[in-house]
């Protein structure tokens, strides 16, 4: 479904980002993952190469808070492959801090990674997509729609990502660039697996489909939106949450 496509996945070294990268590789894309550290990028690439050595994958670790670092890496990717077809803005910072306990540094970090980096990467990627068009996909969250009991900066930035997604879809449509987001629900990540049973069971009880989602469930949604099957879909926030009841 993605043969010949060049895809960048930020936050692609673990969790949902890793599953997206792996799914795109299986569909014959060339994938470039971004991570926060050289070590985590190399570890993820080694893990993928152990699955299938001839997957076309490489990685970088730019500071997503610095536009010039991001631009330099995007330019290097474009010079190497001659195009950038797909950008997945997946890197993010979660938060469960109570309102009165937030420090300015944490607030700034959440805004920088969850929102500003999405804006900056989209801005730069769109300049490379102007000639041939492309796809920009953002990772949102169910809490952008429902909120959460603490860590208010996380849903605030994810709701902002929804607004950015819809606005960029309208702005970039004339350049044949589609922009969508995926809002995962309760997904079976390493963090969730480590929760005690008494916390997991009430979560599952709120899901009409009766189970948590998997990383592959979310990756499948990204694959669909990245592919030509979604060629007339833009500006959507696709919920992947099993019809979660708030």
Does 2 or 201 have the greater pLDDT score?
A: 2
The tokens describing 35, both together, are 């991570």
Q: Does residue 142 lie in a domain region?
A: yes
Q: What is the mean pLDDT of residues 3-7?
A: 97
> 84 is in which domain, residue-wise?
6-240
Q: Is the pLDDT at 65 greater than 90, yes or no? A: yes
What pLDDT does 124 receive?
98
Q: Does residue 224 lie in a domain region?
A: yes
Q: Does residue 1 lie in a domain region?
A: no
Q: Does residue 245 lie in a domain region?
A: no
Catalytic residues: 154
Integer angstrom CA distances of residue 186 from 31, 41, 93, 128, 165: 26, 25, 16, 34, 22
Q: What is the per-residue pLDDT across 137-194, written as a single tens digit (0 to 9) for each?
A: 999 999 999 999 999 999 999 999 999 999 999 999 999 999 999 999 999 987 677 7
202 band by pLDDT with thresholds 50, 70 and 90: confident
Q: What is the per-residue pLDDT across 99-145, written as a single tens digit (0 to 9) for each?
A: 999 999 999 999 999 999 999 999 999 999 999 999 999 999 999 99
Q: Does residue 132 lie in a domain region?
A: yes
What pLDDT does 246 receive?
66
Rounded to the nearest integer, the mean pLDDT of the chain is 95
Residue 47's CATH number:
3.40.50.720
Residue 60 and residue 42 in contact, taking contact as beta carbons nearer than 8 Å: no
Q: Does residue 246 lie in a domain region?
A: no
Number of domains in the chain: 1
Q: Does residue 113 lie in a domain region?
A: yes
Burial class of residue 21, CB neighbours in 10 A (0-12, 13-18, 19+): buried
Name 58's bridge partners.
32
Integer angstrom CA distances of residue 66 from 73, 90, 119, 145: 11, 17, 12, 29
């Amino acid at each position: 479904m993605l043969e010949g496509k060049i895809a960048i996945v930020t936050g692609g070294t673990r969790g949902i980002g890793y599953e997206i990268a792996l799914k795109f590789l299986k569909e014959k894309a060339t994938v470039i993952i971004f991570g926060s550290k050289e070590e985590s990028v190399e570890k993820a690439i080694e893990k993928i190469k152990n699955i299938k050595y001839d997957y076309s994958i490489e990685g970088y670790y730019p500071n997503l808070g610095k536009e010039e670092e991001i631009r330099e890496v995007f330019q290097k990717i474009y010079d190497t492959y001659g195009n950038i077809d797909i950008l997945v803005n997946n890197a993010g910072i979660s938060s469960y801090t109570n309102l009165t306990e937030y420090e300015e540094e944490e607030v700034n970090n959440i805004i920088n990674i969850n929102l500003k980096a999405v804006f900056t990467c989209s801005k730069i990627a769109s300049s490379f997509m102007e000639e041939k068009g492309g796809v920009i996909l953002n990772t949102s969250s169910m809490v952008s729609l429902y909120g959460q009991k603490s860590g208010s900066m996380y849903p605030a930035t994810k709701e902002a990502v929804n607004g950015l997604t819809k606005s960029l879809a309208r702005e970039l449509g004339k350049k044949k660039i589609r922009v969508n987001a995926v809002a995962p629900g309760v997904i079976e990540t390493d963090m969730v697996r480590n929760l005690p049973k008494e916390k997991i069971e009430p979560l599952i009880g709120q899901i009409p489909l009766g189970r948590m989602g998997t990383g592959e469930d979310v990756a499948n949604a990204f694959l669909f939106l990245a592919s030509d099957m979604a060629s007339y879909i833009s500006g959507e926030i696709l919920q992947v949450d099993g019809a979660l009841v708030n």
